[in-house]
Chain A
Amino acid sequence: MTTQPTPSFDVQTGSDATTISLSGAWTTLHLAAVERAFLRSVKNAAHSIALNLTGISSIDTNGAWLVEQFNRKADALGKSCTVTGASENAGVLLDTVKNRPKSPEKQKPDPFYITLLYDIGETVVTESRTTLHIIGFLGEVLIALVRSCIKPKRFRTTAFFYHLEHVGLRGIPIIALLSFLIGMVLAYMGAQQLQKFGAQVFVIQLVQVSVLRELGILLTAIVIAGRSGSAFTAQIGAMVANEEVRAMKTTGLDPVDTLVIPRVLALLIMLPILGFIADIMGLLGGALMVWQSLDIGLSGFIVRLHETMNINNFYVGLVKAPFFAVVIATVGCFQGLQVTGSAESVGRLTTTSVIESIFAVIVIDAGFAIFFAAIGI
Chain B
Amino acid sequence: MNDVILSLRNVKTRFGSRVIHDDVNLDVYKGEIIGVIGGSGSGKTVLLRTILGLNTHAGGKIEIFGKQYHKLNTKEKHKIEQRWGVLFQDGALYSSLNVMENVDVALKEYTKLSSATRNEIAMLKIFLAGLPAESAELMPSELSGGMRKRASLARALAMDPEILFLDEPTAGLDPITANAFDELLKTLQHALGFTVFLVTHDLDTLYTICDRVAVLAEKRIYAVGKLDEVVKNPYPWIQEYFNGPRGRSAKPVPCGEK
Contact = CB atoms under 8 A, between A and B. Distances in A.
B117 interface: yes
B17 interface: no
A29 B111 contact: yes
A211 B95 CA distance: 45
B105 to A, nearest CB: 13
Contacts of B136: 103
Q: Tell me whether chain B's interface is mostly helix, strand or loop, or mixed.
A: helix
A342 B120 CA distance: 29
B192 interface: yes
Interface string B85-109: 0000000000110000000000100
A69 B117 CA distance: 9
B107 A104 contact: no
B117 A35 contact: yes
A104 B65 contact: no
Contact of B120 (A65, A104, A344): A65
A104 B121 contact: no
Given A65-B120, A101-B133, A103-B120, A27 B160 contact: yes
A376 B137 CA distance: 59
B193 interface: yes
A93 B107 CA distance: 19
B192 A31 contact: no
Interface in B194-234: none
A140 interface: no
Interface residues of A, number: 31
B40 interface: no
A27 B113 CA distance: 12
Interface in B130-179: 133-134, 136, 140-141, 157, 159-160
Contacts of B140: 342
A89 interface: yes
Contact of B114 (A35, A61, A340, A344): A35
Given A65-B124, A344-B95, A103 B111 contact: no
Given A65-B120, A104-B133, A36 B114 contact: yes
Nearest to A39: B117
B123 A100 contact: yes
B112 interface: yes
B111 A100 contact: no
Nearest to B192: A61
B127 interface: yes
Contacts of B56: none
A60 B192 contact: yes
A97 B114 CA distance: 19
Contact of B113 (A35, A101, A103, A343): A35
A99 interface: yes
Nearest to A65: B124
B121 A96 contact: no
A343 B120 contact: no
A266 B200 CA distance: 49
A288 B191 CA distance: 80
Given A28-B159, A65-B120, A96-B192, A104 B110 contact: no
B93 to A, nearest CB: 11
Contact of A32 (B79, B113, B128, B133): B113
A93 B65 contact: no
Which of B65, B95, B120, B133 has the largest number of chain A CB atoms within 10 A?
B120
A93 B128 CA distance: 11
B123 A103 contact: yes
Contacts of B159: 28-29
B82 A343 contact: no
A95 B157 CA distance: 17
Nearest to B83: A1
A107 to B, nearest CB: 11
B124 A32 contact: no
A101 B82 CA distance: 27
Given A61-B124, A61-B192, A100-B123, A29 B95 contact: no
A91 to B, nearest CB: 10
A19 interface: no
B191 A342 contact: no
Interface centre among A28, A35, A69 (most CB of B within 10 A): A28
B96 A31 contact: no
Contacts of A135: none
Contact of A31 (B82, B117, B193): B117
A29 B82 contact: yes
B67 to A, nearest CB: 9
B79 A1 contact: yes
Given A60-B192, A62-B121, A66-B117, A28 B111 contact: yes
Q: 4 nearest interchain CB pairs?
A: A32-B112, A60-B160, A96-B191, A100-B127
10 contacts: A28-B111, A31-B111, A32-B112, A60-B192, A61-B157, A92-B190, A96-B128, A97-B124, A342-B141, A345-B141
Interface of B: 65, 79, 82, 95-96, 107, 110-114, 117, 119-121, 123-125, 127-128, 133-134, 136, 140-141, 157, 159-160, 190-193
Given A103-B123, A340-B141, 19 more contacts: A1-B65, A28-B82, A28-B111, A28-B160, A29-B159, A32-B113, A35-B113, A61-B128, A62-B160, A69-B120, A89-B193, A93-B191, A96-B128, A96-B192, A100-B124, A100-B128, A103-B120, A104-B134, A345-B141
Interface of A: 1, 27-29, 31-32, 35-36, 60-62, 65-66, 69, 89, 92-93, 95-97, 99-101, 103-104, 340-345
